[in-house]
């Protein structure tokens, strides 16, 4: 598909953005937000029609979308009801995704994005940039963590969907009940589980929070399938 394009810088840029756009959508869909099928599998031609200026450059200001969590995701993220809290609210909410155009990222840009995300009642914000953040900006992300979770991805990292690689096993996020059942079944404490870092590429892809458990299903020659569990730290 890519071979029959005119081989100039403009269309390369379009293809890059199209691939990042698709990966972001796949990521949001894999986290079980509500997205239509045709939004996720957008073709290059349609992408060009919808998001390009007439002269062939991408209109980056249009590259933004939001999604609501699906019912199954809400169920997964609701803490179990207790006596003191009989009607728990799910700790996930709508997500906001934006491709940012700035040439440099400092604390100012981060604050602006965080303010937009928080003031519009999004629980998660994903910013896709084409330059890395400044170190101070990365540190300042932690300060707004309890209001909204701001995640930052480089455009270059989203060109391919890493979870589709054959060496990456399937990661499934466990709900709270499943986690409790797992710990009970194996008589474990949380800390006795193997761990996965929060900055692990797949953990970042799934947006894991501290304390969540993923089930990792590998293909095994002897056993067919082998499942292991990891606690996000």
| Least separation in angstroms between CB 18 and another protein | 28
Cβ neighbours of residue 129 closer than 8 Å, sequence gap 6 or more: 99, 100, 102, 105, 152, 153, 154, 155
Q: Are 231 and 210 in contact (CB under 8 A)?
A: no
CA–CA separation, 233 vs 199, rounded Å? 9
Strand partners, 96: 66, 125
The nearer residue to another protein, 56 or 106, going by C-beta atoms, is 106
| Least separation in angstroms between CB 36 and another protein | 38
The nearer residue to another protein, 43 or 104, going by C-beta atoms, is 104
CA–CA separation, 136 vs 110, rounded Å? 10
| Least separation in angstroms between CB 135 and another protein | 4
What value, to the nearest 5°, has the Cα angle with vertex 77 and ends 76 and 79?
Answer: 105
Q: Please name which of 208, 209, 229, 207 lies closest in space to residue 218, comparing C-alpha atoms.
A: 229
Q: Which residues bind another protein (CB under 8 A)?
A: 104-108, 134-137, 139-140, 143
What radius of gyration do the chain's Cα atoms show? 20
The nearer residue to another protein, 217 or 233, going by C-beta atoms, is 233
| Least separation in angstroms between CB 111 and another protein | 9
| Least separation in angstroms between CB 24 and another protein | 25
| Least separation in angstroms between CB 139 and another protein | 5
The nearer residue to another protein, 42 or 107, going by C-beta atoms, is 107
The nearer residue to another protein, 136 or 160, going by C-beta atoms, is 136
- Burial tier of 121 (Cβ tally within 10 Å: 0-12, 13-18, 19+): exposed
The nearer residue to another protein, 104 or 120, going by C-beta atoms, is 104
| Least separation in angstroms between CB 133 and another protein | 9
CA–CA separation, 70 vs 154, rounded Å? 26
What distances in angstroms separate CA 208 from CA 149, 205, 224, one per listed residue? 11, 8, 27
The nearer residue to another protein, 2 or 136, going by C-beta atoms, is 136
């Amino acid at each position: 598909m890519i071979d029959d394009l005119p081989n100039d810088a403009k269309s390369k840029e379009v293809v890059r953005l199209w691939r990042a756009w698709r990966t972001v959508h796949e990521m949001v869909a894999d986290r079980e937000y509500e997205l239509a099928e045709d939004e996720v599998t957008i073709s290059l031609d349609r992408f060009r029609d919808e998001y390009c200026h007439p002269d062939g450059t991408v209109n980056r200001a249009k590259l933004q979308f939001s999604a609501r969590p699906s019912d199954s995701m809400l169920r997964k993220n609701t803490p179990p009801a207790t006596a003191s809290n009989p009607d728990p609210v799910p700790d996930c909410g709508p997500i906001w995704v934006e491709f940012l155009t700035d040439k440099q990222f400092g604390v100012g840009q981060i604050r602006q994005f965080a303010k937009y995300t928080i003031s519009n009642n999004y629980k998660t914000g994903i910013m896709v940039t084409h330059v890395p953040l400044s170190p101070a900006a990365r540190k300042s992300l932690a300060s707004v963590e309890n209001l909204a979770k701001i995640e930052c991805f480089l455009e270059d990292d989203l060109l391919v969907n890493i979870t589709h690689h054959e060496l990456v096993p399937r990661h499934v996020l466990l709900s709270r009940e499943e986690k409790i059942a797992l710990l009970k079944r194996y008589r474990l404490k949380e800390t006795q589980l193997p761990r996965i870092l929060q900055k692990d590429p797949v953990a970042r892809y799934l947006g894991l929070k501290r304390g969540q458990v993923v089930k990792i299903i590998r293909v095994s020659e002897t056993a067919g399938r082998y499942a292991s569990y990891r606690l996000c730290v």
